[in-house]
């Protein structure tokens, strides 16, 4: 399974700290903005209050004429303060503004508005200002405002810096998170490949170490040390078992031969007892032979007859060989092959696969009526399937029966009825599948009249020769 970088812990941590940093930076810039904008408005309001006091005092001393004279004097000196004096009939008397804002005043009389400021070349430019309306006695109104043009531009620059800063932080955080996640994903993927190889039986697989001596290298070194120890112990155990099987096969063969002679020379109950001993000796020899065959396969010491050829003749030869045997047991053999099936395979090992699977079906498919061999392929892989309509195997036991010497209760009963079983048939099939770069899957087989399903064993391996271990 390939990791998706948004789901990796590294990317999530990076995104978390990126969000934390971006939030902190945004909060700081927002504080700067609010403080700056608040300060500018406080300065403007202070100017307006000062002008309000002057105009109120001027009107108290000289009426509208005094206010008019003050406004004309201020206009002559210039500045950022804007003025307007309006008569009771709404006629403008004097001022730098020609029109008073028609709305937007707060309860205190303040308003933020946009006006057309004259330019040197005769044109106009929209400026932002903050104004205050004064209701004077006798119906006169005065309006004073402070041009916030430069200040407003500064505030806009702060806002623009906030948004650009946030965008840069997010982009850099995403790029950094992606880069870190890809690096971690590569290291984790290397470990995952090794673990899968070990799970598939390749105990020689090791985790690559970069030499940086970081935490991944330390973890990889400890994991490699553990895998080396497991490989040594497993090989020692297998070697001991293989040596025992090899050394004991000859004396067991002699024992079986002697018992067979004794059986020929005996009669009655004694002959039956000797026959049972011969059966047990055959079973032990079958186990020894299975162990040695499985050991050769796991060590890749199988016959070097890997070839790219059609698999159909192998299937037809095995089916022709087993068809009369199965008919004697009341079983119908059905072959459904969509040929040609050109692929990389070992003909002898594929014949052994079919032989083992048909033997298993013959021994354990109690009450079965049909055994079906099917084979199909697509552009990438080939699937060989042997299915029956017997009692099947419970889903919880399907993976377990691929291990060595595993025999279920019904298979133990089948040994005395249909010959010798060593508990290695499916293990050999699994080893052959892995040798071809494939896998074995146990699924539901053919439908039974009672509504249940038998067992199907599927062997799937790639057609591409580059993926097959020759």
In the block, tokens 């112990």 appear at: 233
What parts of the chain have a pLDDT lower than 50?
A: 1-3, 301-302, 411-418, 420, 466-470
**In terms of pTM, does the model score above 0.75?**
no
| pLDDT value at residue 416 | 40
User: DSSP secondary-structure letter at 390?
Assistant: S
Pair 82, 147: CB distance under 8 Å: yes
Name the fold adopted by 215-296. Answer: Helix Hairpins (1.10.287)
pLDDT of amino acid 374: 92
Domain with CATH 3.30.450 in the chain: 5-155
CB 259 within 8 A of CB 272: no
Q: For position 34, what pLDDT does the model report?
A: 73
DSSP bridge partners of 146: 81, 130
CB 456 within 8 A of CB 386: yes
Tokens 């002057």, located at residue: 54
Strand stretches in 124-192, DSSP E: 124-135, 141-147
The C-alpha atoms of residue 134 and residue 143 are separated, in whole angstroms, by 6
SS3 172: helix
> CATH 1.10.287.130 spans which residues of the chain?
215-296
- Which CATH number fits the domain 5-155, given the four candidates 1.10.1760, 3.90.550, 3.30.450, 2.60.120? 3.30.450
DSSP summary character for residue 2? P
Q: How far is it, in rounded angstroms, from Cα 221 to Cα 444?
A: 43
How much is the pLDDT for 227?
84
- CB neighbourhood size of 131 (10 A): 23
Q: Dump strand ranges (E) for 136-276.
A: 141-147
Domain covering 304-467 assigned CATH 2.60.40.10 in the classification: no
CATH 3.30.565.10 in the chain: give the residue spans. 304-467
């Amino acid at each position: 399974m390939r990791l998706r970088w948004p789901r990796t812990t590294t990317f999530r941590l990076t995104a978390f700290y990126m969000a934390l940093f971006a939030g902190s930076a945004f909060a700081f810039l927002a504080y700067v903005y609010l403080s700056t904008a608040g300060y500018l408005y406080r300065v403007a309001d202070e100017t307006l209050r000062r002008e309000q006091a002057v105009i109120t005092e001027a009107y108290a001393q000289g009426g509208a004429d005094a206010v008019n004279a003050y406004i004309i004097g201020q206009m002559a000196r210039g500045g950022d303060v804007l003025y307007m004096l309006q008569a009771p009939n709404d006629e403008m008397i004097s001022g730098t503004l020609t029109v008073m804002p028609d709305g937007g005043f707060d309860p205190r009389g303040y308003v933020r508005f946009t006006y057309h400021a004259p330019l040197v070349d005769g044109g106009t430019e929209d400026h932002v200002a903050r104004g205050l309306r004064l209701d004077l006695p006798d119906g006169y109104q005065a309006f004073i405002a402070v041009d916030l043009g430069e200040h407003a531009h500064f505030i806009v620059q702060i806002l623009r810096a906030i948004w650009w800063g946030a965008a840069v932080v997010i982009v850099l955080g995403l790029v950094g998170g992606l880069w870190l996640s890809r690096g971690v994903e590569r290291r984790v993927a290397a470990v995952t490949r090794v673990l899968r190889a070990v799970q598939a039986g390749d105990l020689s697989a090791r985790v690559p170490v970069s030499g940086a001596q970081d935490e991944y290298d330390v973890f990889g070194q400890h994991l490699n040390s553990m895998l080396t120890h497991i490989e040594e112990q497993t090989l020692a155990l297998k070697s001991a078992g293989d040596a025992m099987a090899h050394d004991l096969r000859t004396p067991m063969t002699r024992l079986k031969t002697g018992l067979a002679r004794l059986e020929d020379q005996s009669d009655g109950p004694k002959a039956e007892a000797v026959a049972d001993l011969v059966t047990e000796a055959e079973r032990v020899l079958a186990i020894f032979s299975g162990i040695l065959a499985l050991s050769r396969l796991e060590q890749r010491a199988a016959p070097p007859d890997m070839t790219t050829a059609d698999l159909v003749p192998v299937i037809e030869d095995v089916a022709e060989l087993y068809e009369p045997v199965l008919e004697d047991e009341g079983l119908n053999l059905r072959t459904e092959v969509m040929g040609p099936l050109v692929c990389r395979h070992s003909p002898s090992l594929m014949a052994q696969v079919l032989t083992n699977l048909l033997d298993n079906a013959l021994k354990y498919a109690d009450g079965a009526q049909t055994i079906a061999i099917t084979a199909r392929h697509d552009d990438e892989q080939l699937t060989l399937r042997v299915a029956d309509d017997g009692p099947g195997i419970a889903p919880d036991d399907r993976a377990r029966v691929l291990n060595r010497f595993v025999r279920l209760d019904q298979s133990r009963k089948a040994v005395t009825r249909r010959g010798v079983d060593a508990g290695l048939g499916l293990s050999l099939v699994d080893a052959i599948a892995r040798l071809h770069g494939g896998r074995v899957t146990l699924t539901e087989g053919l439908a039974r009249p009672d509504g249940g399903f038998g067992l199907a064993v599927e062997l799937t391996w790639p057609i591409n020769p580059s993926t097959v271990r020759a």
